[in-house]
Structure 1
């Protein structure tokens, strides 16, 4: 029998614990009291190292925040969520900014750092916020402050597309 199965129901609680810890440190727009829902084809937990690995069509949802990837690795040594790494074609994050506007981030690799509320995207990185779009090889996005830094490899360029907002109607 697999060592995880030897523990009965306990492994599922242990697999979800890092995600519940993530929920407690989520962004300001996130309702931290909502449940975290995980779907994956497979899951593996190494409790000693504090690593949970979810594989195959992974979807992690809490409130308005959704992370998707082919593989999502949760690093939570000593039960403290340190980071979540997602890989995919592409890995995706969908959430709302502090003003309730949708934010979509995607890349081949994505690292979410709850302590600093940063998302690091690499490999065909792209962020869409409302009508604006940013592209580069690497993007670091601070969810709390809505600050973005984009960079690219030696031969490419960063691309930004801004959509003008509506102008207020003139009164006569």
Structure 2
């Protein structure tokens, strides 16, 4: 069985262009993983072109794109025909921040699906927008529509905490 050596120089520009182009359709404040170049740092990288295009980063992984930052123990990026299919981060936990959207979260696994613009947190999943929090077994956030779907583990329930917006009557000059 013959193995071809992985050519990261040949694979990475395609991966970078596809991730950037796919996510650029999201609204400006919700660029998610899609504005500007992707920068990944890790202790190690293993990549291959066959049987599939895949890059696996391990050890203190930090992925940034625009103001989105993901911290993980391991990040696997899978592509087909030079097009990113999925990026999967695992950790204890995986964390991400999106300051422009005032969102942050964590879970045992984070899956980014550029084709559908989804960020999926799996296992002890928590997502915050400002102070508001939702959690469950799986939290799916849709970048383009800004919708969220949450499911609970068997025998568990989805939990949410919402803080009402503070009314500022002094500056409005009117009564409630």
With the shorter chain as reference, the TM-score category is 0.7 to 0.9
Return closer, same or farther for 1:20/1:41 CA change in 2, 3 Å cut-off.
Answer: farther
Runs of 4+ in 1 over 3 A off after TM superposition: 30-33
- Aligned partners of 1:105 and 1:13: how far apart in 2? 33
Which residue does the alignment assign to 1:151?
Answer: 151
How many residues align? The count is: 164
TM-score by length of 1: 0.84
- Aligned partners of 1:116 and 1:63: how far apart in 2? 19
TM-score by length of 2: 0.83
Unaligned runs of 5+ in 1: none
Which residue does the alignment assign to 2:8?
Answer: 11
1:1-172 to structure 2, matched below 5 A, reads: 4=5, 10-12=7-9, 14-15=11-12, 17-26=14-23, 27-29=26-28, 30=31, 34-48=36-50, 49-96=52-99, 100-169=100-169, 170-172=172-174
Structure 1 residue 44, shift from structure 2 partner: 1.0
Unaligned runs of 5+ in 2: none
- Quick check: 1:20–1:36 contact (8 Å CA) kept in 2? no
CA-based RMSD: 2.3
